[in-house]
Chain A
Amino acid sequence: MAYKIIESCVNCWACEPLCPSDAIYEAKPTFLINQKKCTECDGDFMVAQCASICPIEGAILDSYGESANPAGSLTGIPPERMAEAMAEIQAR
């Protein structure tokens, strides 16, 4: 079982030095997690380190394939409000 970085990653480097298993590596177009090396931080930390510092909602998936940080959980912006704002901008 392993965490996963997906394409919304902004390459901010925050997660890479925190990984106790050296599983995270720089890649193009975004950082990636070596699925064989990731231990989910088990035995090292109570919580997955990458998912605890990543600033981008949705960029990291847990072992069930679900967003470790779903929309609204980090910014505090309610997803509906975000959708409205995006629609407003589109309509300009």
Chain B
Amino acid sequence: MMEMNVTEQTTENVGGGCSSSGCGGSNDQLSHLPEHIREKVHDHPCYSEEAHHHYARMHVAVAPACNIQCHYCNRKYDCANESRPGVVSELLTPDQAVKKVMAVAANIPQMTVLGIAGPGDPLANPERTFDTFRQLTDKAPDIKLCVSTNGLTLPEQVEELCKHNIDHVTITINCVDPDVGARIYPWIFWNNCRIKGRKGAKILIEQQQKGLQMLTDRGILVKVNSVMIPGVNDQHLEEVSKVVKAKGAFLHNVMPLIAETEHGTFYGVMGQRGPEYEELQELQDKCAGDMNMMRHCRQCRADAVGMLGEDRGDEFTMDKVEVMEVDYEEAMRKRADYHASIEANRDAQKNQTNETFVSISSIKLHKKKELRPVLMAVATSGGSVINQHFGHAQEFLVYEATEMDVRFIGHRKVDLYCSGGDTCGDAETTLDKIIKTLKGCEAVLCSKVGYEPWELLEEAGIQPNGEHAMEAIEDAVAAVYAEMVEAGLPDKDKSDASIKITA
């Protein structure tokens, strides 16, 4: 019998698997990477699809200044590079930031990563950024450091970055063509001048590419973020994916443009639309042919605290942090213990998953016809299990089940995508919005669903399912898919745009 692997891997890896005993087979989409890179990303909640269910990251807002303007950003708010627009964060001095990180790391033992992502560009604020990193390397050597940048001053800062032992850098690269760039970046600040239009974009692109190469030459992990802007760079991002991969970037994360008039951004005010889920997914799939993609990016805030997608920032405001007593040594020991237990758990979950697929592969034996894939939404508050009430979910994880595997497709935020605008009118109820958010999904798995949403979901062709509460997500999705197949998976209505799923 063919061995099946559950999880978020690309299909070409199915049946591949890893020969070393400790690594859990090809159980994540990083299996194509060399061992030393896999090790680096293994615990990183932003980089490993699997790890982000278990580990936490935190960003501190110490970098207010920026040296470029992006059309999706309004500097009255935080940078949209890695954060949600419209949320102003509490700007911290490096000393305050260090205090906050130490307090959080003592209280949230899942904490593994500290990032500086804004609210401006970290590398446009080198003193503040590097002072923070220097102190943390000293006081919490077990915490990984990472930084996001637009790349403009990256080449001149690579040496300094290496000194601080930072092994993760994210560069936001939206284009490699200055003509495209001219439609994204109205100006940059360069050599003591403001440079507008194509000329500025050209310099920015050159600097980004140079910086990327310098980092990978020095063995530093580089992730590339791109914002997908329909009609501007959507056709171009496949090319970007190729170019950055050739230079050694290990992940290319395509994020949707979020543009609303009230953000006051160029795109928002000029009526530039963001991508539909289907478009985004299609592009992510295309780029995945070239390079593995990270689809679980939730566009977290620059000062976000906690697991990806959840924000516990309110528990750690500066006035609360100032009065917290922290025993650093003890906290570090606790984290080490905690991480060991997470690893044990992850191994246990991996072992379980193999069993589930025995049932799916046996279905295959008596169904000759090729089965179509099905999208399902999952409500979870973390830990890789289905453990959230439908009504409490602020976002859903979307998985695609096929007869071969179950893979993670992406997140859909309830609020983020449906906050008015032209796609959803104001008259819509929250429930309508949620249902719209789940477009294309045929089932929603959660711990519980109320009576009213149950009916409406069914009407919308989305089968609510509360039977797999507390089960591992991939197992449950596989089981539900198996049930659907047993019941005779109906052909999908051809007119439905949402079947644009690439296998």
Measured CB to CB, the residues of A under 8 A from B are: 10-14, 17-18, 45-47, 49, 52-53, 55-56, 74-77, 81-82, 85, 88-89, 92
Q: Contact check, B69 vs A13: say whether CB atoms are below 8 A apart.
A: no
The answer to whether B262 touches A89, judged by C-beta atoms less than 8 angstroms apart, is yes
Docked Cα-Cα span, A81 to B261, in Å, equals 11
CB distance from A33 to the nearest CB of B (A): 17
| Chain B positions 36-52 with a Cβ under 8 Å from a chain A Cβ | none
CB neighbours (8 Å) of A49 from chain B are 192
Q: A11-B64, A12-B64, A49-B192 are in contact. Are A74 and B261 (CB under 8 A)?
A: no
Are A10 and B76 touching (Cβ within 8 A)? Answer: yes
List residues 183-224 of chain B with CB under 8 A from any CB of chain A: 186-187, 189, 192-194
Residues of the B chain whose Cβ atoms lie less than 8 Å from the Cβ of A46: 192-193
Contact across chains for B64 and A77 when beta carbons are under 8 A apart? no
Closest to A88 in B: B261
Expressed in whole angstroms, the Cα–Cα distance for A12 and B69 within the complex equals 13
Q: Are A14's CB and B69's CB within 8 A?
A: no
B66: CB under 8 A from chain A?
yes
Residue contact A13 to B269, C-beta cutoff 8 Å: no
B124–A14 CB distance below 8 A: yes
Please give me the residue from chain A that is nearest to B125 by CB atom: A13
Give the contact-size bracket for chain B: 20 to 34
Residues of A within 8 A of B65 (CB): 12-14, 17, 53
> Which of chain A's residues have a CB closer than 8 A to the CB of B91?
11
**Pair A81/B270 contact, Cβ less than 8 Å:** yes
**Measured CA separation A20–B192 after assembly (Å):** 11
A25 vs chain B, min Cβ distance (A):
15
B266 at the interface (CB under 8 A from A): yes
Chain B, interface SS category:
loop
Majority secondary structure, A binding face: loop
8 contacts between A and B (CB under 8 A): A11-B64, A14-B64, A52-B192, A52-B194, A53-B189, A85-B268, A85-B269, A89-B262
B193 touches A52 (CB 8 A): yes
Within the complex, what minimum Cβ distance (angstroms) separates A51 from chain B? Answer: 8
Bound together, the chains give a CA A74 to CA B200 distance in angstroms of 13
A13, B63: Cα distance in complex, Å? 9
- B412 at interface, CB cutoff 8 A: no
Chain B 66-94 interface residues, beta-carbon cutoff 8 Å to A: 66-67, 69, 71, 75-76, 91
Q: Are A55 and B66 in contact (CB under 8 A)?
A: yes
Q: Which of A74, A85, A88 contacts B69 (CB 8 A)?
A: A74
A10 touches B261 (CB 8 A): no
Q: A49 — nearest CB in chain B belongs to which residue?
A: B192
Residues of chain A within 8 A of B275, CB atoms compared? none
- Report the nearest A residue to B189, measured CB to CB: A53
B120 in the interface (beta carbon within 8 A): yes
The complex places the Cα of A12 from the Cα of B79 at a distance, in Å, of 11
Judging by beta carbons under 8 Å apart, are A81 and B269 in contact?
A: yes
The docked-state distance in angstroms from the alpha carbon of A54 to that of B269 is 21
Contacts of B186 in A (CB 8 A): 74-76
List A contacts of B261 (CB < 8 A): 85, 88-89
Report chain A residues within 8 Å CB of B64: 11-14
The interface residues of chain B lying within 8 Å CB-to-CB of A53 are 65, 67, 189, 194
Q: Smallest Cβ distance from A66 to chain B, in angstroms?
A: 17
User: Considering the complex, which residues of chain B in the window 249-278 have a beta carbon less than 8 Å from any beta carbon of chain A?
Assistant: 261-262, 265-266, 268-270
A77/B120 contact (C-beta < 8 A), A12-B75, A52-B193 known: no
**Contacts A12-B75, A52-B192, A89-B261 hold; do A75 and B69 have CB atoms under 8 A apart?**
yes
In the complex, the answer to whether B75 meets A10 with C-beta atoms within 8 Å is yes
Q: With a CB–CB cut-off of 8 A, which chain B residues contact A12?
A: 64-66, 75, 120
Among B75, B125, B269, B426, the residue within 8 A (CB) of A56 is B75
Q: How far is the CB of B425 from chain A (nearest CB, A)?
A: 11
Tell me whether A14 and B120 are in contact in the complex, defined as CB-CB below 8 angstroms, given that A75-B69, A77-B266 are known contacts: yes
User: Nearest-CB distance from B319 to chain A (Å)?
Assistant: 18
Given contacts A12-B120, A52-B192, list 9 more A-B pairs with CB under 8 A. Answer: A12-B65, A13-B64, A13-B125, A18-B192, A55-B66, A77-B266, A81-B269, A81-B270, A92-B420
Residue among A56, A75, A92 with the highest chain B CB neighbour number at 10 A: A75
